[in-house]
Structure 1
Amino acid sequence: MKQFSIFLIFLFFGSCQYFEKKVPSEKELLRKELKAINWKEVDEYPSVAECETIADEKQRQKCFFDVMSQLVQEKLQIDSLSILYPEWDTISVKVTIFPNSKMKFEPQFPKDSVAYDTIKVDSILHARLIDFPKVNPAIKRGIPVKTQFILPVIIKAKEAK
């Protein structure tokens, strides 16, 4: 019994250190958590309905970019970009997808963009790149977030009939 009481006293004094631990403040915890988050990557990439059934994340991402490229190419094929600028075979379009699923397209012009009528090209792109299917925004920690990416679009010349 004497050994048991010594053990209890030792346990009592030894456990006091657990009560004296300093609890980190809410701001300190938030700062640490924000530092730990990789803000350059998202948990889930944007997606369209056609790609939702794909289970593999990389394949779903590839499907999304393929579908977007195809849709933009189809919309630009019916226009005069290839006639105005026959030297262009590819144009880079900056695509922004907002958390509310709205999209914005901005052309990225080459370094020698002085040679091009950027206002005319911009207006052609804004006129043609409308009526896209619903895009589900990217997800970061369960919250829809804004994402941006550069989409290379191949401009095909109209075929002569």
Structure 2
Amino acid sequence: MKKPFAIVFLLILSSCQYFEKQVPDEEALLQKRLKEINWKEVSSYPSIAECDAILDKELKKQCFFESMARLVQEKLDLDTIAMLYPEMDTINVQVTVYPDASLKFEPQMPPDNTVSYNTIAIDSILKARLVDFPKIEPAQKEGVPVTTQFILPVILDVE
């Protein structure tokens, strides 16, 4: 009876070494996790209601960009940018989606020195026309809403 008790007692004593492992430092764990995160890419791209049903990340991204380009183009088709500048067939619009789901639009003028554009007039037209967009869910990084920027090429139609 003493031998099994002694063996169990020795096993218990020798197993204590497994409980004495050091707990990793909180700062070290944080730094390790921060190194694992890809800071150049978001976990999920901004989304619009018509693209919410799509589950594939790349298809959802493509749907969002196509929908945004279409919406911006529809709003600008009503205006005179194409009439003011007939030589401009496409305008690049920098879109910023903030974490609170607000939007900001800025025209990106081509670096063409042969034609001068009134950027203030174009900017005011953009601000006047590019309102009342459907609700946009901001991009997320590790579950936290983040600011994203992208350039939308918008084709101007002269009718």
Aligned residues: 157
Q: Tell me which residue corresponds to 1:46.
A: 46
Letter in 2 for 1:56: D
Structure 1 residues 8-23: aligned runs within 5 Å: 9=10, 12-13=13-14, 15=15, 17-23=17-23
1:15-36 residue CA offsets vs partner (Å, 9 max, x unmatched) = 4543453333211211111111
Asked if 1:153 is matched to 2:154, the reply is yes
Asked if 1:75 is matched to 2:72, the reply is no
Distance 2:94 2:125 in 1: 15
Structure 1 residues 71-150: aligned runs within 5 Å: 71-112=71-112, 115-150=116-151
Asked if 1:66 is matched to 2:69, the reply is no
Q: Normalising by the residue count of structure 2, what TM-score does the alignment of the two structures yield? A: 0.85
CA RMSD in angstroms comes to 2.2
Structure 1 unaligned residues grouped into runs of 5+: none
State the 1:54 CA deviation: 1.9
Q: Normalising by the residue count of structure 1, what TM-score does the alignment of the two structures yield? A: 0.84
1:94 alignment partner, SS class: strand
Q: Tell me which residue corresponds to 2:27.
A: 27
Letter in 2 for 1:112: D
Letter in 1 for 2:24: P
